[in-house]
Amino acid sequence: MSELLRLENVFAGYGEAVVLEGISFSMEEGDSLALLGRNGMGKTTLLSTLMGAARHHSGALHFSGQDLAVVPAHGRAHLGLGWVPQERDIFPSLTVEENLTVVSRPGHWNLQRVYEMFPRLNERRANMGNQLSGGEQQMLAMGRALMLNPKLLLLDEPLEGLAPLIVQELLAIIQQLTEESGMAVILVEQHARQILPLTRQALVLERGRAVYLGESATLRDDRELLDSWLACGTTPAAH
């Protein structure tokens, strides 16, 4: 596999405020990364930096062989980045099918494949976005991002606030995406133990700095270390 994404000593934030400090990691094509940390530690800022919604102060951002820092925000989807933000940002006055097709690009993911992945969307294809449940809106946001046929899919807390049955359904879908799609995925989620089995590597942020970068399985099996970073308590030294 060839390298898809590389960050080297990245500092980023909003305006003059620096949130991320010295972030470095890389991903290959088809790779998967769990992005972890308590609330307010910089996870969403990292995704926003990749998408051009946060300010990149310094450091190298390379995606698919290009300098991502010079690509305007509106051009990053065309470059191959797909983003499912926490807010979902679906179009409430468009039907499910219109939401899916309004931003679609040619490729593996088309309406048929998205409907196969999310049968609920097929059943509700004529419903307006604001007529869907929270879980269905999350599925629509994910389906719409897939219709862009991205090389890298960014999922920002896709399980937040959803019923347990919907969570299990989405976890199965995310596992299928990380294991079978050939598409790279960065997954932000508060419930680390749910997503670490689905990803190859993990990055833990603490106050904007990386305190762990390594195999997801290693972190998953070290309960004490995982709890020290993601539950209340003292932060251990960086690994």
Dihedrals phi, psi of 222, to nearest 5 degrees: -105, 85
| Mean of pLDDT values over 55-76 | 94
Average pLDDT over residues 216-230: 89
CA distance 150 to 117: 16
pLDDT tens figures, 103-113: 899 999 999 99
pTM of the model: 0.92
Per-residue pLDDT averaged across 71-81, rounded? 92
pLDDT tens figures, 163-217: 999 999 999 999 999 988 789 999 998 889 899 999 999 999 999 999 999 999 9
Residue 221 near residue 29 (C-beta atoms within 8 A): no
Tell me what pLDDT residue 233 has.
35
Provide the residue ranges of all domains of the chain, joining segments of one domain with +.
81-149
| 165, 177 Cβ separation under 8 angstroms | no
DSSP 208: T
